Chain A
Amino acid sequence: MDIPMSFYLLVSFVMFFAGVFGFITRKNMIAMLMSLELILNSVNINFVVFNRFLFPEQMEGMFFTLFIIGVAAAETAVAIAIIINVFRSVNNISADDIQKMKY
């Protein structure tokens, strides 16, 4: 119990910006979805850490994390379904090439 809070936050920080970087740079939609998961999980870490270090007698942060995991799973399922459908119609999952619904 002697790892300071900033270490955890550093991990979370790195994960968050890795996610953002991945989301902006990757063209593959699966990769973008994975980047999104990284961002969500860095937030989860923050919730847990702050709960643990600042309000150790309460449980709200933990519960939030559980909810986020649940919602993220559902959201991923939907996103994967969309991606599969897109792939079926255009044979591609590159974000730049999907322009059918643009105009």
Chain B
Amino acid sequence: MDTKFIIALLILAIPAFNFLLLGLGGVKMSHRTAGLIGTIGLTVVAVLSYYTAITYFFDYGCMEGAYQPVIGPFPDEANPAFHWLQFTDHLTLDLGIWLDPISVMMLVVISTVSLMVHVYSNGYMHGERGFQRYFAFLSLFTFSMLGLVVATNIFQMYIFWELVGVSSYLLIGFYYTKPEAVLAAKKAFIVTRFADLGFLIGILILSYYTNTFDFAVLTDVNGPVLTSPSGATFLGISVFSWATALLFMGGAGKSAMMPLHIWLPDAMEGPTPVSALIHAATMVVAGVFLVARLFPLYFILTPEVLTGIAYLAAATSLYAAVVACVQTDIKRVLAFSTISQIAYMLVALGVSGLGGHEGLGYMASMFHLFTHAFFKALLFLCAGAVIHAIGSNEMDRMGNLRKYMPITHITFLIACLAIAGIPPFSGFFSKDEILVAAFEKDKLIFFCQYFVAGLTAFYMFRLYYGIFWGTERDYGKHLPHEAPLNMSAPLIFLTVLTCCTGLLPFNELITSDGRPFDLHTEWGIALPSIAVGVLGIVVATVLYRRPNPLPQRMADSVRTLHRAAYRRFYFDEIYMFITKNVIFRRICSPVAWFDRHIIDGFMDFQAWWSNALSFRIRALQSGSLQFYVGVFIFSILVIAGLLIAFVF
């Protein structure tokens, strides 16, 4: 087997092994040992991922001027007839490793953020009950997410997709003695499972009409799938539109697109480092990754679905940004900010074309995914440090913390500037490319995203001022203090990444067709986008830097809107209404009645009469031998008599 595949398999195997080791033997270890095992394992994974990325981009990845996917070790060239799973003669399944620009980039993102979270968790979770279990679940998650991005076919991706879902469930519900955490975990699991139902149906439709699961065949621009697709339709719509729309439903569930976003804000019940890793940087971009992976399929066969994705994502980003402006729980603000930023990435994919400069949106989406992962993880880890110091998520318990937590203050500020799109931080570059791509395709979406960019700057700085400025609260005897070194070191490392990842030449490395294209900053769009970011920051500064009655007065003047936004536009209430009053009462109750009275009733009736009959005849089983003999003799005589009468 090739060295690169051995390394890739090791990247997967180390977290999987750590999961088993910590999960089975964790209780026997001290907290320190368990944390050390997890962290060292992840360090090795990160180093191997960097090695894979460097060798892919600069050694074997580029062939004939374009980055090609490198697939292996299955199907095995020496033994082509061997398949992992054979469904029919044509439809086979091979597990394998797929290395191409986006999967290699994801390897780097996942392993880096995961490593940072591991280091940070050693401090954050210090002394918690279930420390070893926590690290075991982190390893499981890392393994599943790494497996998801290197999947060679959509079925393999689905397997890891579900594993990711279950590890997310386990980590959200980590504090299982807290009822809110249990409810949030259940909600996340049920909502994403419901979305995954669409994903599965999409896979089935797609594999039925194309006879393959492999990404290599599905995304081959000159291949049979894209050049001569089946013309079958269902309800007047092409089956491929159904398939890709259903696949996106799975992606929308994981990536928290409207209306399947309701689980993500509640998922903040989990430990904060988990939110940083799973619900900000890695798992929630799985939907983006799915669309990017199947991009040629979406773009060539079903452009209308892609346009629909763009509009849905634009609406979601606007919605989430508005809601984020009024939340008071700092993790909720970050959660809605995450939804908004992921929607940004999907907008970029939705307006993208294929190849060359047309594929700007694709590249911008991956770029934003990359930069967002680091600065959003940084924001969450800072929020974790604040929560660790204060012991609460609510903004009105915080204020003037810059005096006590200087490192957290500076790193949080830089992350805010990055997400607000201020140069030279990374968010500016990626967000700018997205806006350019949107401007070239669709003006409506562009203005929507432009407005959202301003809102983003506003709510992030509202959060910043709310935590680090404003009035000093009564902190009691235990004054807040700076986080320990193992928590602040990841903050500093991620800050460095936030400052410099924007300068990476994504247009040469990660493009829709693998070929580099020329890119120059469009100052006509970049300057207004900086301006709107600055405007948002200025407004937030005026309103929130010093305590003043202005915010309250503004909220009162648009009370209905403020209230609606604070209650997240009643999405949860609508869901509750639909499930409780419509589905449960109108559909489930009659079905339950039918089941209990008709189906169960039939079975109960059978049991009842056989029981009654048995009661009648049980006196025959008296145990009296003489009675048995009497019956026996009598029966013999009767049979003999009958034989004599009728046979002889």
> What residues of chain A have their CB less than 8 Å away from a CB belonging to chain B?
20, 23-25, 32, 95-96, 99, 102
Contact = CB atoms under 8 A, between A and B. Distances in A.
A89 B264 CA distance: 77
A20 B623 contact: no
Chain B interface residue number, banded:
under 10
Contact of A23 (B623, B624, B626): B626
A90 to B, nearest CB: 16
A95 B633 contact: no
Contacts of B629: 20, 23-24
Contacts of A20: 629, 633
A32 B630 CA distance: 13
Interface in B584-626: 623-626
Q: Interface centre among B623, B626, B629, B630, by most A CB within 10 Å?
A: B626
Nearest to B630: A24
A24 B626 contact: yes
B625 A95 contact: yes
Given A23-B626, A99-B623, A102-B623, 4 more contacts: A20-B629, A24-B629, A32-B626, A95-B625
Contacts of A25: 626
What secondary structure prevails in chain A residues at the interface with B?
A: helix
Contacts of B633: 20, 24
Nearest to B622: A102
A43 B428 CA distance: 112
A96 B630 contact: no
Nearest to A23: B629
Interface of B: 623-626, 629-630, 633
B635 to A, nearest CB: 13
A24 to B, nearest CB: 5
Contacts of A24: 626, 629-630, 633
Contacts of A32: 626
A18 to B, nearest CB: 13
B629 to A, nearest CB: 6
11 contacts: A20-B629, A20-B633, A23-B626, A23-B629, A24-B629, A24-B633, A25-B626, A32-B626, A95-B626, A99-B623, A102-B623
Contacts of B626: 23-25, 32, 95
A14 to B, nearest CB: 15
A35 to B, nearest CB: 10
A16 to B, nearest CB: 10
Nearest to B623: A102
A29 to B, nearest CB: 10
A95 B625 CA distance: 9
Contacts of B625: 95
Contacts of A99: 623
Contacts of B623: 99, 102
A32 B624 CA distance: 13
A25 B629 CA distance: 11
Contacts of A96: 624
A24 B633 CA distance: 10
A38 to B, nearest CB: 14
A96 B624 CA distance: 7
Q: Interface centre among A24, A32, A99, A102, by most B CB within 10 Å?
A: A24
Contacts of A23: 626, 629
A24 B629 CA distance: 7
B7 to A, nearest CB: 71
A99 B623 CA distance: 9
A95 B626 CA distance: 9
A24 B624 CA distance: 10
Contacts of B624: 95-96
Nearest to A20: B633
B632 to A, nearest CB: 10
Contacts of A95: 624-626
A20 B623 CA distance: 18
Nearest to A17: B633
Nearest to A103: B623
A94 to B, nearest CB: 11
A32 B629 CA distance: 12
A102 B624 CA distance: 10
A24 B625 CA distance: 9
Nearest to A26: B626
A95 B546 CA distance: 103
Nearest to A101: B623
B619 to A, nearest CB: 15
B416 to A, nearest CB: 81
A83 to B, nearest CB: 14
Nearest to A96: B624
Nearest to B627: A24
A96 B627 CA distance: 11
A96 to B, nearest CB: 7
A11 B636 CA distance: 21
B644 to A, nearest CB: 15
A21 B626 CA distance: 10
The 7 closest A-B pairs by CB, nearest first: A24-B630, A102-B623, A24-B626, A20-B633, A24-B629, A23-B629, A95-B626
